[in-house]
Amino acid sequence: MTSTDSVRDLEQKGSRLLKEFRDFAMKGNVVDLAVGVIIGAAFGGIVTSLVGDVIMPIIGAVTGGLDFSNYFTPLSQTVTANTLVEARKQGAVLAWGNFLTVTLNFLIIAAVLFAVIRSLNKLKQRAEETKAPPPTPTRQEELLTEIRDLLKKGAGPSP
């Protein structure tokens, strides 16, 4: 085998590998997944804004102006700040207010995704129900139907 043959073999293997990768990357599932990740990231920003800018201020107004994002418990004697940002600079804190906000974000995202997936599944189920034609009867079923119809008419075989 000459060096030209080995180079040609490498080119062919590389070409096959590239074609195989292209086929994989262009499958609908991979493209759908990429679109889903991008939309999910954008959706996460919307939900974060909804929770931080709409829901938490309403909860704060109902509870007397409480701001959950600054609720924390200092884990060190050196932490004396009143805001979470400053407290984190001073030492270790248990940021349970921030955790509450993130948990609320998660619950809203989960509820919305559940509603979307449930709706899509119902649409898919309806489409499948309307698509599926009734099964055609077998030859045996057709003959039995004809016999039944003849018996109903009273045109059975005479003895």
Per-residue pLDDT reduced to its tens digit, 56-112:
788 778 877 766 778 889 998 898 998 888 999 999 999 998 898 888 878 887 888
Q: Can you list the domains of the chain with their CATH numbers?
A: 3-132 (1.10.1200.120)
Report the distance separating Cα 45 and Cα 39, nearest Å: 10
Q: What is the pLDDT of residue 139?
A: 92
Provide the whole-model pTM.
0.50
Mean pLDDT of the 3-32 span:
76
Query: Which of 40-60 are b and which e, b meaning 16 or more Cβ less than 10 Å from the residue's Cβ?
Result: eeeeeeebeebbeeeebeebe
The reported pLDDT for the residue numbered 118 is 92
Q: Give the residue, 31 or 115, on which the prediction is more confident.
A: 115
CA distances from 152 to 92, 144, 145, 156 (A): 88, 12, 11, 9
Q: What's the pLDDT tens digit per position in 124-149? A: 888 887 777 778 889 999 999 999 99
The band of 122, judged by pLDDT with boundaries at 50, 70 and 90, is very high
Name every residue whose Cβ is closer than 8 Å to that of residue 47 and which is 6 or more positions away in sequence: 105, 108, 109, 112
pLDDT at 156 over 80: no
Mean pLDDT across 34-62:
82
- Predicted confidence at residue 155, as pLDDT, reads 57
